[in-house]
Amino acid sequence: MEQTYFRKGFGLKDAIEGALTTDYHSRLVDAIRANGHTLTLGDLTFRLAREFGFCYGVDRAVEYAYESRSKFPDRRTFLVGEIIHNPHVNSKLRAMEVEFIFRGADGEFDFGAVAQSDVVILPAFGVTVQDFARLRAIGCVLVDTTCGSVLNVWKRVESYARDGYTAVIHGKYFHEETKATASQVTKYPGGKYIIVRHMDEAKEVCAHIEGGESRERLLQHFSHAVSPGFDPDLDLVKIGVANQTTMLSNESLAIAGELRASMTRRWGEPALGDHFRTFDTICSATQERQDAVLKLIEEPLDAMVVIGGYNSSNTTHLAAICAPRVPTYHIEDALCIDPQSASIRHLPVGTRDEVRRDAWLPSGPACIGITAGASTPNNKIGETVERIAAIRGVSVAATLA
């Protein structure tokens, strides 16, 4: 009987290594890293964060997708959503004839086109319990690239549900990872969750726990972010905290602390263990990139450029860290920089619409910080440095000679 579920790769890395190098490698980034993460070109100095770009989970997901096309070259291959939140990577997969399946107007994936003979790749964010079951029922080959850090969060919320604790998840209710994480509680009868986006929402939950927020108001506010049949009077008696892996770590920890304090006031310290659980489920790669950018902005910088998809949670959080300290430009890729007009298209922190800014690069000697989200390949980082240098008429060719 044919094996139809794969999580550990196909052992074809040698076969795809050349394509991965061509599509994502950067000699320039290698040179900057080898030079202490610093590069001077003319009167511009670039400082690259110590940790940046592709993390292990993203590397694995992309490699596994490439291996899948090599393993099953003659089969139709589908991808549920996006492999990661990076337009360049997803464009490369489309060029390899991977067909994307997105949620419809009803919020559900339509798997009607998928046949038993097809291959379906599950993204690094994972999929919901329900979508996984639907695909298994079709009998198609499933290639599961779900990140190990995400799986660790799933185990945590499963344990909460198993033991009768409601999962309070710090995340974005519309994000694929959070949808998948929340669905894990449905494996257990009576499993419950509520998703809080930020500290203000966490405080609303705390207010109800302590009797200061009405049941109706809470349900209205969180109508799209709770499990079916959620009853705050019953389901906030025992809670366990988890988070989307790419959230700001200090915010996740602060939210957990706020909820703990609230439960302590409600039930008392001696009984806290019967009502509250928490574990830090921020992934190490997210933490390392946030720590690295915090260290970088301690240096005097004239501008900070953050590279990555506009729908990438970990990238937007890197930009949010930098913005209060230095002029920050979150760009989707190097094409957002126009050397001819010296302009930049970027997404200002906290907004939804890209804007264009002229003369963003300071005149005279300038120091530019560079970082990238965990789903951004090195070649997009290298191209960004090249295009910024080109504004000053400087070529990087001599650096790579």
Give the C-alpha distances (Å, rounded to integers) separating 187 from 156, 233, 234, 280, 352.
Answer: 13, 22, 19, 22, 35
The yes-or-no verdict on residue 209 having pLDDT over 90 is: yes
For residues 72 and 135, membership in a common domain is answered with yes
Q: Are 126 and 89 contained in the same domain?
A: yes
pLDDT at residue 202 tops 80:
yes
- Of 123, 146, 169, the one marking the end of a domain is 146
Q: Provide the residue range defining the domain that includes 264.
A: 149-282
Tokens of residue 360, six digits? 């963003």
Residue with structure tokens 């710090």?
Answer: 170
Mean pLDDT throughout 353-380? Answer: 96
pLDDT of res. 281: 80
Nearest Cα to Cα of residue 314 among 88, 102, 37, 84: 84
Question: pLDDT tens-digit profile of 9-60?
Answer: 899 999 999 999 999 999 999 999 999 999 999 999 999 999 999 999 999 9
Residues 134 and 177 in one domain: no
Are 299 and 322 found together in one domain? yes
Domain for residue 127, yes or no? Answer: yes
Tell whether the model's pLDDT for residue 336 goes beyond 90. yes
Query: Does position 283 have pLDDT exceeding 90, yes or no?
Result: no
Q: Are residues 74 and 170 in the same domain?
A: no
What percent of the chain has pLDDT above 90? 91
pLDDT tens digits along 109-134: 999 999 999 999 999 999 999 999 99
Q: Do 226 and 278 belong to one domain?
A: yes
Q: What is the pTM of this model?
A: 0.92
CATH assignment of the domain containing 219: 3.40.1010.20
Q: Answer for the pair 55, 63: CB distance below 8 angstroms, yes or no.
A: no
Of 146, 165, 194, the residue at which a domain comes to its end is: 146
Q: What is the SS3 assignment for 23?
A: helix
Length of the chain as a residue count: 401
Look at residue 305 and give its three-state secondary structure.
strand
Residue 10: predicted pLDDT: 93
Q: Does residue 119 or residue 395 have the better pLDDT?
A: 119
Average pLDDT, integer, range 217-235: 96
- Active-site residue list: 177
> Are residue 163 and residue 258 in the same domain, yes or no?
yes
For residue 286, pLDDT beyond 90: no
pLDDT value at 398 more than 80: no
Secondary structure letter of residue 364 according to DSSP: S
Rounded to 5 degrees, what angle do the CA atoms 75, 78, 80 make? Answer: 160
Whether 275 shows a pLDDT value over 70: the answer reads yes
pLDDT of the residue at 401: 64
Q: Is residue 2 left, alpha or beta, with left meaning phi > 0 and alpha meaning psi from -120 to 50?
A: beta
Q: Do 235 and 343 have their domain in common?
A: no
In a domain, 2, yes or no: no
Q: What is the CATH number of the domain that holds 89?
A: 3.40.50.11270
In a domain, residue 39? The reply is yes
**pLDDT above 70 coverage of the chain, percent:** 99
Q: Are 376 and 53 in contact (CB under 8 A)?
A: yes
CA distance 29 to 170: 34
**268 inside domain:** yes
Task: Compute the average pLDDT of residues 313-337.
Answer: 96
**Quick check: 223 pLDDT over 90?**
yes
Domain co-membership, 382 together with 321: yes
Domain endpoint, select from 282, 305, 334: 282
What domain count does the chain have? 3
Identify whether residues 125 and 168 lie together within a single domain.
Answer: no
> Do 387 and 311 belong together in one domain?
yes
Q: Is residue 29 part of a domain?
A: yes
Q: Are residues 278 and 368 in the same domain?
A: no
Alpha helices (H) along 276-377 = 284-296, 313-322
107 lies in some domain: yes
Using pLDDT thresholds of 50, 70 and 90, give the confidence band for residue 1.
Answer: low
Give the residue with greater pLDDT, 250 vs 328.
328
Average pLDDT over residues 328-332: 98
Reported in sequence order, the residue ranges of 270-393 that DSSP labels E, i.e. its strands, are 276-278, 303-307, 328-331, 337-338, 343-346, 355-358, 366-372
Tell me whether residue 275 is in a domain.
yes
Has residue 12 been placed in a domain?
no
Task: Give the E-state strand segments of 81-198 in sequence order.
Answer: 98-101, 119-122, 141-144, 166-170, 193-196
Average pLDDT over residues 299-316: 95
